[in-house]
């Protein structure tokens, strides 16, 4: 494309980010300093050069963003500044764009074969498109996770996450579900199943029927595929629905997003729960779906409490108001790297974090 020549292409973002308002065509002559300056001004750059050079420019932009100053103030203020910095980084890096042609293929020199990764993230590419290189790099990484899988000790097997589906990089909450005493082995609901890992654990433990629900089609396809790969498809079923399936069960498990904050992209939905909406809905509606004598297993980290975003008193008040009581709480300390990384901006909260399985029964 010559300078000054207009073009039209469809904007694609698997993360739900809006299309940039201003785009300029750039090539290998662009320096990292100029790229960072343009992105800081909100100018998107459509790359028409060598693919590997574009990756180098993206990495150089990331280095120029830097870690920033260590957040100060209350834990909640530190958390929000940390999130603002992460959002700023995503916005800056998201402004380096590349073309994507049907196939899907990247029509640039030395571009890798991204057909499977792009198809998993964006679906059918039936027309020329423009995507964020930063997002596409993430899609390529997600494809590798899906291809190789994530080993889960509780299953002695691998879970294969699909793009955009939260997967168990932290094992402690899965181990809690694998160890807690089952109230019954006839039926269980797994609300908000994601990859289906908790439903698969319950099926492997001998629960004869597990209904795993999610309101995302990606998650349902992912869970169903994992059930087949793990050989539990005769006991575990993935159902597209909002929260609870019809009927009652003696065991209902839910691992909602742990942080009551607003997601900045669709991929944030598995981590951030605005106003604790999913958590509150699960607790308030749980009694209406439990069989007499049944249990609800709420899997939740107290990180939000250490960040000053939710208090233990508030959580217990909701439990009581819903007509529930705590039969037992099983606790474990996280072992992920952030819990011991003193350079992490949220180290104080991370190092104090406890993950719990709350066994809830009706009062």
Residue 51 has pLDDT above 90, yes or no: yes
Residue 109 per-residue DSSP state: B
Alpha-carbon distance of 194 to 216, in angstroms, equals: 8
Same domain assignment for residues 44 and 130: yes
User: In this structure, are residues 210 and 236 in contact, taking their beta carbons and an 8 Å threshold?
Assistant: yes
Domain stops at, among 111, 145, 179: 145
Name the least confident of 19-28, 49-58, 60-69, 216-225.
60-69
Alpha-carbon distance of 96 to 92, in angstroms, equals: 8
Using DSSP bridges, classify how beta strands 157-159 and 210-214 pair: parallel, antiparallel or unpaired.
unpaired
pLDDT tens for residues 218-227?
999 999 999 9
pLDDT level of residue 73 (50, 70, 90 thresholds): confident
User: In this structure, are residues 99 and 106 in contact, taking their beta carbons and an 8 Å threshold?
Assistant: yes
Percent of the chain whose predicted confidence (pLDDT) is above 70: 96
Identify whether 5 is part of a domain.
no
Domain stops at, among 93, 127, 145: 145
CATH number, domain at 295? 3.40.50.150
pLDDT level of residue 40 (50, 70, 90 thresholds): very high
Alpha-carbon distance of 37 to 19, in angstroms, equals: 19
Residue 3 has pLDDT above 50, yes or no: no
Same domain assignment for residues 129 and 216: no
- Domain limits for position 350: 149-362
Tokens of 303: 């990180």
Alpha-carbon distance of 265 to 142, in angstroms, equals: 16
Alpha-carbon distance of 275 to 260, in angstroms, equals: 5
Tokens of 87: 């959002």
Quote the pLDDT of residue 5: 55
As a whole number, mean pLDDT of residues 177-199 equals: 97
Rg of the chain over Cα atoms, rounded to whole angstroms, equals 23
pLDDT tens for residues 86-133?
899 999 999 999 999 998 899 999 999 999 999 999 988 888 999 999
Quote the pLDDT of residue 70: 58
Same domain assignment for residues 121 and 167: no
Same domain assignment for residues 67 and 196: no
Q: How many domains is the chain built from? A: 2
Alpha-carbon distance of 307 to 299, in angstroms, equals: 18
Same domain assignment for residues 159 and 246: yes
Quote the pLDDT of residue 69: 55
Identify whether 2 is part of a domain.
no
Using DSSP bridges, classify how beta strands 157-159 and 150-152 pair: parallel, antiparallel or unpaired.
antiparallel
Same domain assignment for residues 132 and 161: no
Identify whether 322 is part of a domain.
yes
Chain position carrying tokens 């000054």: 4
Residue 7 has pLDDT above 80, yes or no: no
Same domain assignment for residues 86 and 166: no
Same domain assignment for residues 297 and 161: yes
Residue 81 has pLDDT above 80, yes or no: yes
State the Cα angle at 350 between 345 and 354, rounded to 5°.
170
pLDDT tens for residues 282-318?
999 999 999 999 999 999 999 999 999 999 999 999 9
What are the φ/ψ torsions at residue 139 (nearest 5 degrees)? -65, -40
pLDDT tens for residues 200-215?
999 999 999 999 999 9
pLDDT level of residue 71 (50, 70, 90 thresholds): low
Using DSSP bridges, classify how beta strands 23-26 and 44-47 pair: parallel, antiparallel or unpaired.
parallel
């Amino acid at each position: 494309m010559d300078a000054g020549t207009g073009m039209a292409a469809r904007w694609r973002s698997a993360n739900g980010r809006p299309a940039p308002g201003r785009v300029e065509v750039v090539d290998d002559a662009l320096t990292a300093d100029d790229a960072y300056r343009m992105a800081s001004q909100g100018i998107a750059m459509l790359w028409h050069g060598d693919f590997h050079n574009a990756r180098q420019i993206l990495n150089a932009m990331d280095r120029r963003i830097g870690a920033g100053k260590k957040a100060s103030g209350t834990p909640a203020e530190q958390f929000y500044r940390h999130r603002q910095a992460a959002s700023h980084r995503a916005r800056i890096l998201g402004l380096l764009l590349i073309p994507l042609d049907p196939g899907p293929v990247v029509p640039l020199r030395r571009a890798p074969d991204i057909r499977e990764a792009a198809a998993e993230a964006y679906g059918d590419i039936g027309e020329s498109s423009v995507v964020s290189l930063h997002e596409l790099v993430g899609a390529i990484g997600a494809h590798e996770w899906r291809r190789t899988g994530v080993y889960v000790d509780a299953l002695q097997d691998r879970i294969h996450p699909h793009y955009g589906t939260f997967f168990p990089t932290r094992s402690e909450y899965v181990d809690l579900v694998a160890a807690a005493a089952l109230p019954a082995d006839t039926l269980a609901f797994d609300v908000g199943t994601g990859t289906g890992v908790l439903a698969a654990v319950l099926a492997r433990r001998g629960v004869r029927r597990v209904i795993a629900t999610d309101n995302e089609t990606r998650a349902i396809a992912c869970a169903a595929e994992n059930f087949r790969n793990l050989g539990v498809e005769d006991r575990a079923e993935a159902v597209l629905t909002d929260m609870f399936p019809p009927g009652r069960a003696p065991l209902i498990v839910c691992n909602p997003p742990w942080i009551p904050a607003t997601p900045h992209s669709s991929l944030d939905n598995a981590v951030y729960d605005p106003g604790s909406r999913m958590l509150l809905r699960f607790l308030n509606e749980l009694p209406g779906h439990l069989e007499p004598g049944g249990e609800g297993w709420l899997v939740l980290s107290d990180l939000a409490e250490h960040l000053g975003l939710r208090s233990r008193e508030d959580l217990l008040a909701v439990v009581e108001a819903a007509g529930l009581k705590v039969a037992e709480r099983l606790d474990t300390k996280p072992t992920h790297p952030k819990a011991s990384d003193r350079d992490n901006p949220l180290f104080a909260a991370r190092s104090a974090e406890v993950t719990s399985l709350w066994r809830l029964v009706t009062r």
